[in-house]
Amino acid sequence: MADLKQLKMDFLEYLEIEKNRSPKTIENYNHYLTRFLGFAQVSSPQQLTEELIRKFRLHLNRLTDHRGKVMKRVTQNYHVIALRAFLKYLSKREIKAISPERIELGKQEDRHIDFLENNELERILKSPQSQGLVDLRDKAILETLFSTGLRVSELCSLDKERIDLDRGELSVSGKGSKIRLVFLSADAREAIKTYIKKRSDVDASLFIRIPKNEAFEKYENLRLTPRSIQRIIRKHTIRAGIVGKKVTPHTLRHSMATDLLRNGADIRSVQSLLGHSSVTTTQIYTHVTDSQLKEVHKKYHKKKSPAHAG
């Protein structure tokens, strides 16, 4: 019988080959399971008990970093999700161990969602104003992020030839290599067309860094990185005068989802557009739309009851 360390390696290879999980997911699962096995100090699956897992969860809940901050509940749950997936794999191989159904996720605190209000969105989308290549590119980036709700990694991976500007749509490979269709607004299509027309390079990437004096021939790879996109968003956040909010590429993704739900889109459609594997993930946005309902009620519901006849 293989020991737990070997079984963990078998499990990670199973994720890579049979489940086609991304390298980042495998890296994270490895990290969480290594931490668990380091704490557990057991070698066989039969030694995994509910009590041992309870003690591990208690350990995570009391763990602090170098600044004295405790681990977020969502991160604690990531460890539990990895452990349950590992136990499910053992069960599939008919290796006796505790059933994954015996382990429940802890209740998570509500996630805080940062999104832009309509006036803030208008200001940031209008921030790149010049007809220079840098501003044209930035305009296309901002419009594309808000129109499609792409993750920053998905945005960076786009190539020019993959975008159908006539139909206003493109296929993206998201988490777990799942392909989904996203759509470009008229403003996003126009911004991309104008930006591409201005370019003189031959790089296949849609969004590229612009060298000084546009000396493209000196560089082999011009594709923007997620860090570069974050810096671009930060620059236009400052230009737009948006204060008190940390605006990131993900903020525009949140803004797109919130905008759709506020305007009547159903949650399953938003789930598909965002590429969420579970509708539970998409439900984080309902807190935002719930607060809007309160304002609607306050504005339109009668504040005074009709006077009773005397």
User: Is 59 known to be catalytic?
Assistant: no
Q: Among residues 151, 199, 236, 254, which one is catalytic?
A: 151
Q: Among residues 21, 84, 189, 253, which one is catalytic?
A: 253
User: Is 300 known to be catalytic?
Assistant: no
Q: What is the 3-state secondary structure (H, E, C) of the chain?
A: CCCHHHHHHHHHHHHHHCCCCCHHHHHHHHHHHHHHHHHHCCCCHHHCCHHHHHHHHHHHHHCECCCCCECCHHHHHHHHHHHHHHHHHHHHCCCCCCCHHHCCCCCCCCCCCCCCCHHHHHHHHCCCCCCCHHHHHHHHHHHHHHHHCCCHHHHHCCEHHHEECCCCEEEEECHHHCEEEEECCHHHHHHHHHHHHHCCCCCCECCECCCHHHCHHHCCCCECCHHHHHHHHHHHHHHCCCCCCCCCHHHHHHHHHHHHHHCCCCHHHHHHHHCCCCHHHHHHHHHHHHHHHHHHHHHHCCCCCCCCCC
User: Is 285 known to be catalytic?
Assistant: yes
Q: Among residues 21, 84, 139, 250, which one is catalytic?
A: 250
User: Is 223 known to be catalytic?
Assistant: no
Q: Among residues 32, 89, 195, 285, which one is catalytic?
A: 285
Please answer whether residues 105 and 121 qualify as being in contact, where contact means their C-beta atoms are separated by less than 8 angstroms.
no
Q: Among residues 175, 223, 239, 262, which one is catalytic?
A: 175
User: Is 276 known to be catalytic?
Assistant: yes
User: Is 218 known to be catalytic?
Assistant: no
CA–CA dist 209, 154 (Å, integer): 17
Structure tokens at 220: 């082999």
CA–CA dist 212, 226 (Å, integer): 20
Active site residues: 151, 175, 250, 253, 276, 285
